[in-house]
Amino acid sequence: MTTVPTLVPEPRECIDLGGTLQLSDVVAVAGPAGITATIADLLGEGIGAILLPRSVAASPEHEPVVLTVDQGDHPPGGYGLSVDDSGITIEYADHEGLVNAVQTLRQLAGPAAFSRGHVPGSRPSLPHVRITDAPALAWRGVHLDVARHFMPLVNLYDFVDNLALHKINVLHLHLTEDQGWRFEVKKYPRLTEVGSWRTGTRFPDWDEDDQVPHGGHYTQDQLRALVGHAHSRGITIVPEIDLPGHVSALLAAHPEYGEPGNLPDGVATGWGIFTEVLHLDDAAMELVTDILAELLEVFDSPWIHVGGDECPRDQWRNSERARTLAAERGLASVDELQPWFTQQLRSWLADRGRTLVGWDEIIDDDAQVPGAVVMSWRGTEPGLRALAAGHQVVMAPGSTLYLDKYASDDPTEPRAIGGHIPWEKVASMDPYEGVEDDQRDGLLGIQAQLWSEYLVTPQRVEYAAYPRVSVMAEVAWRGGPVDPDQFRPRLAAHLERLAVRGVNYRPLDGPLPWQTGGGRYRRIAK
């Protein structure tokens, strides 16, 4: 009798059949054309050297284990997986389902299957099981801010692979901010020439900035390749261009799209909410749609995020030009400029077959943007309001899923933005809390946020993400909370996989000495 290893997220149904299938040197894949390559690609890391589909391997030592793959009748993202003496069988609903099945297969093969390369001498075996599985929530997302601190491309690939092993299927890439513009726009090269870097960085309690230039951007080809890689891992990348606020980097490059009396002093070096916003005249609308047109060429996601958060109206209220503009557009006041803007973009995107996503401010003051997806970050109340108004909603509440907050109240945590969200709090989240029965279908899913003001390196991002993202993946997959006491041993077992991969996760008992920060990156007492 074997024991099936802990699987995270836990499948809907997993029957332990007893017995073990020893994997031979060769696994032959039988299935529709194209599947072999997909499986090889997905398994190509840790167990790749053993679980490599080489149907015509040169003089194999053993009879190959046969992996039979076929499409079957399962809900979206779902799959069936069985292992017995006759081999391995996968039945998948769709591409995402196939990817999910293979991720489960890796987890069944033991932590070594998560190594980046083949561990010499390892000969994985699989327990005899029959698994039937499908996700409860369609949007199992993680947001990453690559604007406050740039994430090198190689680390983004890594980030995608680590999400995929948790069956996360959306990476929301926050590409623009006051502190940096990361998306190459061919028609407006100054956006990256000027907007992609800042002269230094200043945390609020520092007397001055560190005078260390910080920056970087991604070319369109780099992002296209990343989109393809993510797709092969079952992940859709949802790009965000944050508008019409949070645009200091844009205005540093192109002050002509702002208000002459209210322009930023270059790309921002510190954090906050800035009053310098777009002046929404026809020229700015052309700029915005030009940028979005290039964005659509790179990202094939059905959803396009246009921000909408934290756009103060002071500039417009103080501007004669803005008041005239609002009147010309038939609006009662400048306060209607942002709803008008969102509605313009919603319809422009819809004409191109895409759906607008925005932070929950897009429905403030009962603004009407029918068909827009609302991302609820100021708690879940705006999301519940949006559901009642007929919107699809992604719950991304700051109180539970802002992973830039401290992972505990321990004074040794490395510096974070403030507040704390232990993994147990993530585990206890019920995505459907407060949702009326007849509005449940509107809840697309949930999403964790990694804002990077204080996540200054890829290691810090990993520390903030894990294990809280592993926990969120469990909640999203099951569509309900998980009891932290029951989950703890499962989480501990799962962390062995991340350890094999070398992920800089936070151990359940607290940070390791070199994870505590220090110097300027020490926790500050509040």
> Which parts of this chain interact with ligand ACM (CB under 6 A)?
309-310, 359, 377
- Surface-to-core class of residue 362, CB atoms within 10 Å of its CB (0-12 exposed, 13-18 middle, 19+ buried): buried
Q: Could you tell me how far CA 43 lies from the centroid of its own chain?
A: 22
Phi and psi at residue 307, to the nearest 5° = 70, -115
Tell me how far, at minimum, the Cβ of 404 lies from ligand ACM, in Å. Answer: 9
Tell me how far, at minimum, the Cβ of 272 lies from ligand ACM, in Å. Answer: 11
Residues β-bridged to residue 13: 132
Residue with smallest beta-carbon separation from ligand ACM? 309
Which distant-in-sequence residues (6+ apart) come within 8 Å of 107 by Cβ? 5, 7, 8, 113, 165, 497
42 or 243: CB nearest ligand ACM: 243
Place of tokens 């942002």: 338
359 or 454: CB nearest ligand ACM: 359
Compute the C-alpha angle 226/152/268, nearest 5°.
115
Tell me how far, at minimum, the Cβ of 396 lies from ligand ACM, in Å. Answer: 8
The pairing of beta strand 87-92 with beta strand 125-133: unpaired
Compute the C-alpha angle 307/312/318, nearest 5°.
135
Q: Tally Cβ neighbours within 10 Å of residue 463.
A: 23
Our answer to whether residue 436 is catalytic in this structure is no
Tell me how far, at minimum, the Cβ of 309 lies from ligand ACM, in Å. Answer: 4
309 or 413: CB nearest ligand ACM: 309
Amino acid in the structure at residue 418: G
Tell me how far, at minimum, the Cβ of 248 lies from ligand ACM, in Å. Answer: 14
161 or 310: CB nearest ligand ACM: 310
State how far the Cα of 36 lies from the Cα of 58, in Å rounded to an integer.
Answer: 18
Tell me how far, at minimum, the Cβ of 359 lies from ligand ACM, in Å. Answer: 5
89 or 342: CB nearest ligand ACM: 342
* Nearest partner of 496 among 483, 507, 509, judged by Cα: 507
Residue 249 tokens, joined? 């980097």
192 or 452: CB nearest ligand ACM: 452
Instruction: Tell me the C-alpha to C-alpha distance, in Å, between residue 288 and each of 131, 224, 242, 386, 467.
Output: 47, 20, 11, 26, 37
Residue of 61, 184, 294, 310 marked active site = 310
Q: Name the residues annotated as catalytic.
A: 310
